[in-house]
A and B are shown apart, each in its own frame.
Chain A
């Protein structure tokens, strides 16, 4: 699986983010100025309520449109309407001094941001895999923060040039047109991905939005977003409430707002550029979802406690609330947006955009409206002060964090369900049957291929051992095959008979029946297996065939034998040991506690990761060495073997059905499916094995590759050719290295 950095899509989406930031900034600067001058801050709760009503009105239409037409098709008319509205409001205020238009402008600001992020997030979901989303989406959001900060810096300059506040709306209109152009350009650049309409596999009619929003996982997403926006609005209110109490004049307030906005966005950009992607990569989705509410709530709680001790007018209270606002914005852009956009990827593709539009379009404006109502009720109903608002914010923050944990659990469940929902085509089932390590399944596959095996299925009744011995020595493999069942029953007390059956493992035409006879008829199969796995001089081929059929054994000792040999010197045999162990555990239960299996898998993966890094360094050193082509390809084979071992090992600690499906997706050609499979495994495996498993599966061990200097090349070839430390454990690599050395002379 190749998870290259998708520079192209990210650049286009980041450009859209910058333009959206500029657009938002150039709407809110004139909107706030005109609105607050005319109606004051007491008018803001009514704006919040209007935002909720508008959101509720347009969201069903948006969700319906996104299920009828492609995202790209919907974006163009919507952005055209927004551009026309901004232009009309600008002309209206400029020409007729219709100040009341600042009210719809305030509403439009919130609507534009929600729609903008739905469009950008939707495109990201179609252009990036789930893994790339976690890595790259913070960069796209950085574009928004840069654009917003740029609008704050440019606003005063343009204001002095243009003369009147409302004329900044002309710039907003231009930004909206630019966003429309960028969306169209992105669609033209990636037509295959963006023009596609996602439909359900069975072409079932679209589920109504209300039904979608009531599904458990979607409801969790909606709750999380509602609580997120509710908390954000309250924190925003607390900052400006304390600022208003602290700064008496409008000039002081404007200065504070300007400095605070620039500082806020600068902190946001630094966090997005340096910390966000690393944080999500290192600590994953769970932290991405709960970091924002936890940190912001801690700041508010600090302010509340400080205010209780020394009065709400204290500087420490103001600083705590300002800190909460900074933490909220920084973590919203740095982790929450990315985590939520990634969480949407756990939904079926044909429902994703409609859900996203529904959650963003209904939930967020709804939360803003509820915040407006709550503030009105607190202020006019209870004559409550900032302390009550802070208390409400803490309660909301705790609920928000809890909903984050619930979303994460839902995300895990939905990813796994997404994997298991995949419908296998008949051809896949046949092919997967052939890959099965169970000899009986393989035999069936051979029959499909027409391999002669007519008499293999015959099992003769037990017969006297002399007769059996004669049959086992017959030239005709069909005759030998017919005797294995009886021979295996006698072999426990007859070493010569046992050897004759074991010899049968060495020939393809008799191997399946010999193995089958041993596993079902030989009383001490566990001991036999242990001896085969311990014997370093024995035939690898015979040992592999014996281990492969061990899963069919009813001997209770077999699980213990296999456990002891998971770290077998031969990595090929180790893979078969792991595979058989997974089958036995699935049939008979895990036996020892899950922690013991995790430790066992952790040991295997740790050793394999070291070998993977060794292979990668060798490949880097040999990449351009004449005559080393086959050696490099064989080192890549070694990496593929380690990936298969990882998947087999994960079958011991993760639902085997998830692993089987993940394997099919990881080995397929669909990058998006592969990334989804990797994500599903990452959120399913215990923490102690997660990093190693992901590195082994995605083919990047995360270490700097060794450069191919002359000395490193020579050392690598010598190491591979002689394997003095016994770490490569593959004669073929030595042979290839010898060939490369000869070719280089």
Chain B
């Protein structure tokens, strides 16, 4: 994917939709593309985590300890809390079919948040909405 295409993907992600294109371009340039086949593990519960994943293509499945599962498609994010508070992952994420993800590491997100408070605002707003909706986070493969 060229940078312009990556930016188009990032714009669809709620976390980043407040950021201007040129800022997303600097994020996109640091992102890693990762492909997974059906059944392959993307994140394992209990592993340390310091990066988030954005689904570009395909479907992934998030499973938490209690057996609660959730399927996510393009434009969604998993592991986002790990870039804010690095701790052990609390959920396992599998690829359901052939999938393509973008991986962003904590330092990249840190740079973004420091210079672009609008993005931080978007993240806070998303998290607030998520926690207000039912009092617990849905199974999005994070560590809580």
Contacts and interface: CB of A to CB of B under 8 A. Distances in A.
Interface of A: 427, 430-431, 434-437, 442, 445-446, 448-452, 508-509, 511-512, 541, 544-545, 629-630, 633-634, 637-638, 640-641, 730-733, 735-736, 739
Nearest to A576: B115
A427 B115 contact: no
A448 B85 CA distance: 10
Interface stretch (B20-28, B40-48, B61-69): B20-28
Interface string B1-30: 011100110010000000011100100000
Contact of B124 (A430, A512, A630): A430
Given A434-B121, A451-B110, A633 B4 contact: no
B71 interface: no
Interface in B94-144: 107, 110-111, 113-115, 117-118, 120-121, 123-125, 128
Nearest to B3: A735
A545 B115 contact: yes
Given A630-B4, A633-B21, A451 B84 contact: yes
A509 B50 CA distance: 15
12 contacts: A435-B117, A445-B124, A448-B124, A452-B86, A629-B8, A630-B7, A640-B20, A732-B21, A735-B3, A735-B25, A739-B2, A739-B4
B43 to A, nearest CB: 19
Given A431-B125, A442-B114, A730 B22 contact: yes
Contacts of A437: 117
A640 B21 CA distance: 12
Given A545-B115, A739-B2, 11 more contacts: A434-B124, A442-B120, A446-B114, A509-B107, A509-B110, A630-B11, A633-B11, A730-B22, A735-B3, A735-B25, A739-B4
A630 B114 contact: no
Nearest to A743: B4
Q: Provide the main secondary structure of the chain B interface.
A: helix
A736 B121 contact: no
Nearest to A740: B4
B124 A511 contact: no
Contact of B117 (A434, A634, A641): A434
Contact of B120 (A434, A452, A736): A434
B22 A732 contact: yes
A442 B8 contact: no
A733 B11 CA distance: 16
Nearest to B127: A449
Contacts of B125: 431
B114 A508 contact: yes
A629 B9 CA distance: 12
A149 B7 CA distance: 60
B4 A736 contact: yes
A582 B106 CA distance: 33
Contact of A637 (B3, B20, B113, B114): B20
A435 B84 contact: no
B21 A512 contact: no
B13 to A, nearest CB: 14
B114 A735 contact: no
Contacts of B118: 435
A641 B123 CA distance: 20
A514 to B, nearest CB: 12
A509 B125 CA distance: 23
Which 10 A-B pairs have CB atoms at the shortest separation, nearest pair first?
A637-B20, A634-B21, A732-B22, A450-B85, A508-B110, A739-B4, A435-B117, A508-B114, A508-B111, A434-B120
